[in-house]
Amino acid sequence: ETFVITIDGPAASGKSSVSRLVAQRLGIPYVSSGLLYRAATYLAQTSGEALDDEGALLQLLDRHRVQLVTAVGARNRIAVDGRTLDHELHTDRVDAGVSVVARHPGVRAWVDARLRELTGAFVVEGRDMGTQVFPHAAAKFYLSAPPEVRAARRVGERAGDLEAVTAALRRRDQLDAVQSRPAPEAVYLDTRDLTLDEVVARILGALPE
């Protein structure tokens, strides 16, 4: 028996913070699907594989053991061949390459298979969790905010120039449009004028009994 809550939305929409807090309040783990795409990208970049060579990427993923480590109230982590990766997955270099890697159907199938291995209750965030991976989720949410607002939040997290970060986010939005499919039945939350706690409260308030 699984109980899944999906939270989808564009880059820097606050998905991971929101998902972590919602999961923490419910006492269940949260899962970031983006981390799996980031791990695949990191592996490809550090092995010198071309990001547009799907066959080479799939062979690479086959040769390495990629584990998603989830815990209640904690950040998600990925272990590659037993080594935990964290900040390595959140660099501008990975950001710039990940949309290309995520476009390959074989890579998406690899990520989806990792996610479908999970059992029990959890909150999962990404782009297509409510549509593609967990169509029967108990509750679905879609978070959004204008690019400038998301960029300002991202600059607060990582150093960077606001204009450059806004441009990079718009670019990733465009590239990700192919793989972002908000579920029509998802509860849509524009987080522009909402604090993190307010978003969390709305989600908790909209959950089925």
Neighbours of 205 (CB within 10 A): 8
The stretches of 85-205 forming alpha helices (DSSP H) are: 92-101, 105-116, 147-157, 162-176, 196-205
Query: Under the criterion CB under 6 A, does residue 128 sit at the interface with ligand C5P?
Result: yes
Query: Under the criterion CB under 6 A, does residue 107 sit at the interface with ligand C5P?
Result: no
Closest C-alpha to 13, from 164, 173, 168, 162: 173
Query: Under the criterion CB under 6 A, does residue 172 sit at the interface with ligand C5P?
Result: yes
Query: Under the criterion CB under 6 A, does residue 45 sit at the interface with ligand C5P?
Result: no
How far CA 155 is from CA of 70, 87, 98, 166, in Å, comes to 26, 16, 19, 9
Q: Please identify, using beta-carbon distances, which residue of 180 and 203 lies nearer to ligand C5P.
A: 180
Distance CA 68, CA 70 (A): 6
- Which of left, alpha, beta for 182 (phi over 0: left; psi -120 to 50: alpha)? beta
Which residue in 54, 148, 176, 190 binds ligand C5P (CB under 6 A)? Answer: 176
Q: What distance separates the 2 farthest-apart alpha carbons in the chain?
A: 49
CB of 14 to ligand C5P, least distance (A): 11
- Find how far residue 206's CA is from the centre of its chain: 21
Phi and psi torsions of 112, nearest 5°: -60, -40
Query: Under the criterion CB under 6 A, does residue 147 sit at the interface with ligand C5P?
Result: no
Which residue in 14, 29, 34, 147 binds ligand C5P (CB under 6 A)? Answer: 34
Query: Under the criterion CB under 6 A, does residue 11 sit at the interface with ligand C5P?
Result: yes
Strand partners for 85:
78
Query: Which structure tokens are listed for 197?
Result: 């706690």
Query: Under the criterion CB under 6 A, does residue 98 sit at the interface with ligand C5P?
Result: yes
Query: Under the criterion CB under 6 A, does residue 61 sit at the interface with ligand C5P?
Result: no
Q: Please identify, using beta-carbon distances, which residue of 27 and 111 lies nearer to ligand C5P.
A: 111
CB of 76 to ligand C5P, least distance (A): 10
Stretch touching ligand C5P by CB under 6 A, among 45-53, 75-83, 122-130, 134-142? 122-130
Query: Under the criterion CB under 6 A, does residue 110 sit at the interface with ligand C5P?
Result: no
Residues near ligand C5P, by CB under 6 A: 11, 33-34, 37-38, 98-99, 102, 126-129, 172, 176, 179
